Amino acid sequence: MDEKYVLREPVGDIREINFPLQKLKGGDIVAAQSEFETLTGSITTSMLELNKGFHAYIISKVAQIPYETVLELSIKDFSYLTMRVQNFLLPSVPAPTA
Residue 69's pLDDT is: 97
Decide: helix, strand or coil at residue 17: strand
| Per-residue confidence (pLDDT) for residue 78, from 0 to 100 | 97
* Domain-wise residue ranges, the chain: 4-89
Q: What is the 3-state secondary structure (H, E, C) of 39-63?
A: HHCCCCCCCHHHCHHHHHHHHHHHH
pLDDT digits (tens), the chain, 98 positions: 578 999 999 999 999 999 999 999 999 989 998 898 898 887 766 777 888 999 999 999 999 999 999 999 999 999 999 999 998 988 765 566 65
Looking at residue 7, its pLDDT comes to 97
What whole-number distance in Å separates Cα of residue 57 and Cα of residue 40?
10
